[in-house]
Amino acid sequence: MKQFSFKSQTPASHGGLIEKVEILRSRLRLATYLDKQEIGALLEDFNALRADILLASRTERLERATTQKTVEMTGAASKRSSYDELGFEGVLGESPGLLEALEIVRKAAPTMLPILIDGESGTGKELFAKVIHANSTRADKPFVSINCGAIPENLIESELFGHKKGAFTGATSDRKGRFEAANGGTIFLDEVGELPMQGQVKLLRVLQAHEIQRVGSDEVTAVDTRVVAATNRNLAQMSEEGAFREDLFYRLGVIHASLPPLRERRDDEARLIFQALSEAYPELSGPLTNLGILNAQGRDAAQALRDFTRAVEANPRNAVAFNWLGVLHREQGAYGRAEAAYQKAIALDAGYAPAYRNLGVLYDIYLQRPQAAIEQYRQYLTLTQSEDLIVLVWIKELEAQGIATALPIAGAVP
């Protein structure tokens, strides 16, 4: 007999978790004897369910926190944010270290304090900086990014703080620096550990006095720029060795978030690969569909819905994407859309069994159409050529309900 797998097949919403609880109850109720191997399998499923519940609870708390009022906007309505609105859909993964960094970012974003983000290359430091900017009072102001390690040492001060005409060879006119360009908004200093010592001195002055001085000028210009810095180096160690100013390190790191390296996020590797494929080849519906499934299983329903919609646009005959669209619509209470999506999947691929099972669940639990549910469940069993215990139990329960309902009508005594 085919054993039901507790590895996530649908988003772990409250409905999905309740369904898994009912499956375990049915297995225990129908079991007359359990050997050691069966007990071990049940314990494994209970542990998987417990992990799902803990993760759903943690994710719900984070999402609820981000949708609360974060800051009052002067002369405007309060700004409300969610992961999707802020671009959190690009922050892929659910590793504990990543969630911890997200929580720090969420709390820090509405403040005006400098933020230091450290992590290895490719861990998403610039993305986090953009999230901070998007969830601040400066969201409608400039976001300026500069890679301090990619600019020659003799030009870094000019890039950051601007220069006066004639300040050096080639300075044919006055030029604003990145700090002035970001005035009122946010500047992201990537690889800040590569700044030369003279640049560190001037950056410290900006943080302390909120003013800059262009190269070759005696004038002081006030700036109101929020600083978010990032590095892949150990600034604490560098400051001990004298390679980075200690006072600047503490100024930048008032709020400090560390991103875990990719090698510690093995469970997120597939999601990252599909994300890269989908961005590089948007015309391919396969990677988009797989990315949607990963986002759906990762409890990011809004992003998953966008992924599947793009997948269907890329390939209108994508039965898998339509099936998952049905799952997402069902979880959001749009039962008519869910039914239409499942039926579309079946019309595109009459042999695609999951669509029949999901349509049966929709008729059974949500639309209260027992006979239609039985038909879909039986079609599912026929296609899979299996004796799925759970589906068989559902069919028997629906048939029993039908008999119980019909007896009084026929005038019989139960």
> What does the alpha-carbon distance between residue 189 and residue 199 come to, in Å, rounded to a whole number?
12
End-to-end distance of the chain based on CA atoms, in angstroms?
A: 33
Greatest mean pLDDT among 18-32, 47-61, 396-410 lies in 18-32
What's the chain's Rg over C-alpha atoms?
28
Yes or no: say if 113 and 254 are a contact pair by the CB < 8 Å rule: yes
**pLDDT tens, position by position, 257-293:** 888 886 776 556 555 555 555 555 555 566 666 666 7
Q: Residue 180: helix, strand or coil by DSSP?
A: helix
- Tell me the pLDDT tens digit for each residue of 238-267: 999 999 999 999 899 888 988 888 677 655
Average pLDDT value over all residues in the chain: 75
CB-neighbour burial class of residue 96 (10 A; exposed 0-12, middle 13-18, buried 19+): exposed
Greater pLDDT, 299 or 157: 157
- Examine the pLDDT at 400 and tell me if it is beyond 70: yes
pLDDT level of residue 99 (50, 70, 90 thresholds): confident
Distances (CA, A) of 16 to 323, 378, 413: 16, 21, 37
What is the Cβ-side half-sphere exposure of residue 22, based on CA atoms within 13 angstroms?
A: 12
Q: For residue 21, which phi and psi values (nearest 5 degrees)? A: -60, -45
Question: What pLDDT, on the 0 to 100 scale, is given for residue 286?
Answer: 63
- Cβ contact 182:192 at 8 Å: no
User: What number of CA atoms fall less than 13 Å from residue 345's CA on the CB side?
Assistant: 25
pLDDT confidence tier of residue 73, bands split at 50, 70 and 90: very low
pTM for the complete prediction?
0.51
